[in-house]
Amino acid sequence: MNFLIEYDVSEETIEKIRENYDESTCFYCLTIKENMKEVINYLKSIHVESIDQLLTNRLELFFLPVETLKEHLREYNEDVFVQLLNEDINVLNNI
């Protein structure tokens, strides 16, 4: 999971991921790390600031192909959605 450090994910967040998810899920992250990097880059590009929270609480978001994520988010006003997401990641429960 240390590959996340190059994307400004803290070691504390990586440790929380390991605590919150089982070993097989963490291993899966390693097998799809390129996809996870793409999702992180995309989220950063639209100014999502809650990436650490998303990683520790909604890791499944990073399993989606980035194009699928983009398609889902196109249905919403991006600026408003990002603002809401940065305030509370539970906004994802509504999509």
Neighbouring C-beta atoms of residue 63, cutoff 10 Å? 15
The 8-class DSSP code of residue 48 comes to -
9 contact partners, CB below 8 Å, separation of at least 6: 40, 51, 52, 55
pTM of the model: 0.89
Where are the chain's structural domains?
A: 9-94
Percentage above 90 pLDDT, the chain: 79
**pLDDT tens profile 9-44:** 999 999 999 999 999 999 999 999 999 999 999 999
